[in-house]
Amino acid sequence: MSRSQQPIKGAMQTAALYIHIPFCEKRCNYCDFYTVANRKEAIPRYVQALEREMALYASDPFWSRQTFATVFFGGGTPSLLDPEDIDRILDAVRSNVRLIPEPEITLEANPGTTTAAHLAGYRAAGINRLSLGAQSFWDDELEQLDRLHRSADIVRTVEEARAAGFDNINLDLMFALPGQRPSRWKANLENALALQPQHLSCYNLTLEEGTPLYKLFMAGRVRALTEWRERVLFNFTIDFLETHGLVHYEISNYALPGYECRHNIKYWDGSVYLGLGASAHSYDGQTRFWNVSNYVHYCERLEKGRRAVDARETLTPEQQRFEMIFLGLRRKRGVDLQQFRRGFQQDFLQAYARPVERLLQHDPPLVEIREDHLRLTREGRLLCDAVCAEFA
């Protein structure tokens, strides 16, 4: 099967473009993404490498045919780049890939790394969605997470972003921190809503192996919350935010109607996506490939006129089916059973009759079938990983 015969396609059949900016002022103790600290002097070289990488993919027979609906600057801390750098990268995007008329263009930013002038510059360059890594409105929790900003910086940055013309703002928040009380998490949500964001991403802290925080946990210097306490916080978050008008449209994401993150939905609905930059991942409908996780090696390869791809993995039909299931179940709408039939020429409820029956008969049920979609129930959302494992 050629790449043009993609078994899973998104509803709009458009692609997503991700651009990884690995630079940070300081690496947070819980982060396991590819980042580098104190290397701002390397940014000009890196931006030039991104331009070269875009030009290479512009001549690729597959990627040159794609129309991109979203662009996402992730990291790292993309807001360490000057507006002129972002403008230059977006100029290269427009010159090398085909965009829909009004694409969603997101920039991740850390409070405290931006100024009012920078935010105005990002908006003028074409950024129309801002995602702020707030994490907490308690300064001691921010210190615990090794964040450089403080609560006041979050408020200031949102106010300056509004003044710069941003009307689509996300705040990242983190719950289930060591020792975190429900009252503190409630206050975080209240402080976030007071800033009237269009979107909230609420992630439970995951102790990733190899991170400094994980090492503290293994040494007994921090204690993770119990699974029961995590569930209490998770359930409270759903109830509290939906009461205030935000829709819980994905396990960790809440939005006002119409402000769901279009870029992330591209990942979840099986669309193809192109990742540029060190460590960035791509998917062409059958094969996943990723760049080297070293910005120096990344730049060197592009300077030699070569792509920076480190490895490839061609997904088997079984892997593709499982990805469609677990990505679909993360969303409130669930797995589209018609799309599954079209993509794999199989009836989902027949192919997975036994696990579906077990999950339906669980007390309480972990899934439900509505409008030709298999969806998680409230209890199922709490056990998402375990539910997905039933289909592996």
Q: What pLDDT is attached to residue 212? A: 65
pLDDT on residue 13: 83
Res. 280: pLDDT tops 50: yes
Q: Would you state the structure tokens that stand for residue 124, as one six-digit string?
A: 């003028």
Q: What is the mean pLDDT of residues 121-128?
A: 98
Which residue segments constitute the domains of the chain, with CATH numbers given? Answer: 15-268 (3.80.30.20), 334-389 (1.10.10)
Q: For all residues of the chain together, what is the average pLDDT? A: 91
Section 151-167 average pLDDT? 97
pLDDT of residue 33: 63
For residue 104, what are the β-bridge partners?
A: 70
Verdict on whether the full-model pTM lies above 0.75 = yes
Residue 12 is predicted with a pLDDT of 46
State the average pLDDT over residues 364-392.
94
- Residue range 152-176: mean pLDDT, rounded: 97
pLDDT in tens, 32-89: 567 777 788 999 999 999 999 999 999 999 999 999 999 999 988 999 999 999 999 9
Q: What is the mean pLDDT of residues 261-290?
A: 96
Q: Is the predicted pLDDT of residue 11 greater than 50, yes or no?
A: no
CA proximity to 149, closest of 160, 158, 139: 139
Given a cut of 50, whether residue 367 has pLDDT beyond it is yes
What pLDDT, in 10s, does the model give residues 206-259?
766 766 666 666 676 667 678 888 899 999 999 999 999 999 999 999 999 999
Give all strands (DSSP E) within the chain, no chain letters. 15-21, 23-24, 36-37, 67-75, 98-109, 129-135, 169-175, 199-204, 247-250, 253-255, 273-276, 281-283, 287-291, 309-314, 335-336, 367-370, 373-376
Mean pLDDT of 279-292: 96
For position 229, what pLDDT does the model report? 87
The string of DSSP codes covering 119-164 is HHHHHHHT--EEEEEEE-S-HHHHHHTT-S--HHHHHHHHHHHHHT
